[in-house]
Amino acid sequence: MIIIRRSIAVLLGLLAALTPLGIPPASADEPTSEPPKVELVLDVSGSMRANDIDGRSRIAVAQQAFHEVVDALPDETQLGIRVLGATYPGDDKKIGCQDTQQIVPVGPVNREQAKAAIAGLRPTGFTPVGLALRGAAQDLGTGGTTRRIVLITDGEDTCAPPDPCEVARELAAQGTHLVVDTLGLAPDEKVRKQLVCIASATGGTYTSANSVEQLSGRIRQLVDRANDTYTATPALVTGAGECGNAPILAPGVYSDREKFQEHRYYRIPVRADQELRASVSVALDRPLNRDYGVLLRATATDGRELVRGTDAGSGRTDVLSTGLRWSASEPDEPTEEPSEEPAEGTTLVVPTPTVCLVVGNSFSGQNTSAQVPGMPVELTIDVVDFSPAPSSPGLGRGWVLLLLLTVAGLLTGLVTGWLTRWWVATWREN
């Protein structure tokens, strides 16, 4: 019986891992999601003339990558393009540091218009990254779902103030559901630190790109991530270092951050007649050593492991996910009563047993990888009525088919044997 239960638990964990992770439970009255909104922000400053990417200029590589991405965009994606340093060729810094324009408004993709606008760009002036980020945020407007800015640049801001890192923090503090992902085209440590700071402040990711393939592939990934938006932004939560003082979470979507090789605990009230379904996704936003993984476990409050998740091989290289499902199978499961209200405003008035979710990782960073802030973590939790696994359906009417196949096999064998004997006898007579 124990082996059967464990097998069922493993199977349910696998099924949970294979379902789309990071998406909140659907309901009949759930509002329709807004279309994905993305704005690509391209640095067209003078340094983009450098010929150091596969023997081509940085701007030529960026233009080709943009063309490939525009051709591959899903029809439902609303795209905008903003540039910086594209029009003022002079030396007056005061004028040059105001040089940022939106050349394609955010909306349904007009591929020919977008590619024509990109093809006409020529590296020109200064690098007002902070001002461009503010402009891009205004271009995307407000809404109930996460919107993305993808910043592609080869240099640090030459126009601060405003400092682009402070602008990113300012945008994050406004609660505008805005994520900034950054792509660096130059192997410069100052540029890398600035772009990591911008991305980290908004929950985005940083990547360096050294070829057309890397750049176009990464932009496509980031644009595709805009499709994974929610009708509600994930609630911020901070996991604890042990189960006893972990935050109590109601069903919903949460975001947190986790350092390398850290474990974070969360408590979930789950009654004996309910089933817990949980998944976690971690954004790989910095260089990591190989052979890493994410582990999601459900434990009792005394530390006994109830079930662990199964890695979900989604094929994506920028996110690592795992999920699990668990329901009480013994009458003597722990019955700790929560002493505080669950997050997201849900009030549970009936004392309910508590399960601890533990998110752990085996990440180790390369020499250039920062520990702080931690890796972006997204946790999805659902608690539903328990549905026992169905018993084996048996063969049912399959017995009839099996019987027919058996009779057919016997008859075929008899006929074949009779024909063989007749043929041998005839051959000997001749």
- 27: helix, strand or coil: coil
What pLDDT digit, counting tens, does each position of 243-283 carry? 999 999 998 888 898 888 899 999 999 988 888 888 888 87
My answer on whether 171 and 295 are in the same domain is no
My answer on whether 209 and 335 are in the same domain is no
Supply the Cα-derived Rg of the chain in whole angstroms.
Answer: 29
Query: How far separated are the first and last CA of the chain, in Å rounded?
Result: 67
Range of 8-17, 139-148, 171-180 with top mean pLDDT: 139-148
My answer on whether 217 and 312 are in the same domain is no
pTM for this structure? 0.56
My answer on whether 66 and 212 are in the same domain is yes
State the DSSP H helix or E strand holding residue 207, giving kind and residue range, or none if neither.
strand 206-208
Any domain includes 419: no
pLDDT at 85 over 90: yes
Confidence of residue 327 (pLDDT cuts 50, 70, 90): confident
What pLDDT digit, counting tens, does each position of 294-304 carry? 889 999 988 89
For 73-188, where are the alpha helices, taking DSSP H only? 93-96, 111-119, 129-140, 164-173
Any domain includes 400: no
Rounded to whole angstroms, the Cα distance separating 308 from 13 reads 7
What pLDDT digit, counting tens, does each position of 360-411 carry? 888 887 776 667 778 888 888 888 777 554 444 444 455 666 777 787 878 8
My answer on whether 164 and 282 are in the same domain is no
Any domain includes 197: yes
Query: Given 225, 258, 274, which residue is the final one in a domain?
Result: 225
Look at residues 307, 336, 331, 325 and name the one whose alpha carbon lies nearest to residue 248: 336
CATH code, 255: 2.60.120.380
User: In which domain, by residue range, is 152 found?
Assistant: 37-225
CA neighbours closer than 13 Å in the CB half-sphere of residue 39: 27
CATH code, 188: 3.40.50.410
My answer on whether 196 and 72 are in the same domain is yes
My answer on whether 183 and 293 are in the same domain is no
pLDDT at 339: 53
pLDDT at 74 over 90: no
pLDDT at 364: 81
Confidence of residue 7 (pLDDT cuts 50, 70, 90): very low
My answer on whether 119 and 217 are in the same domain is yes
Any domain includes 430: no
DSSP one-letter code for 363: -
Domains identified in the chain, total number: 2
Rounded to whole angstroms, the Cα distance separating 367 from 362 reads 16
Query: Given 180, 196, 225, which residue is the final one in a domain?
Result: 225
Query: Across all residues in the chain, what is the average pLDDT?
Result: 78
My answer on whether 300 and 201 are in the same domain is no
Any domain includes 117: yes
Rounded to whole angstroms, the Cα distance separating 430 from 114 reads 86
My answer on whether 123 and 262 are in the same domain is no
Decide if 278 contacts 12 (C-beta within 8 A). Answer: no
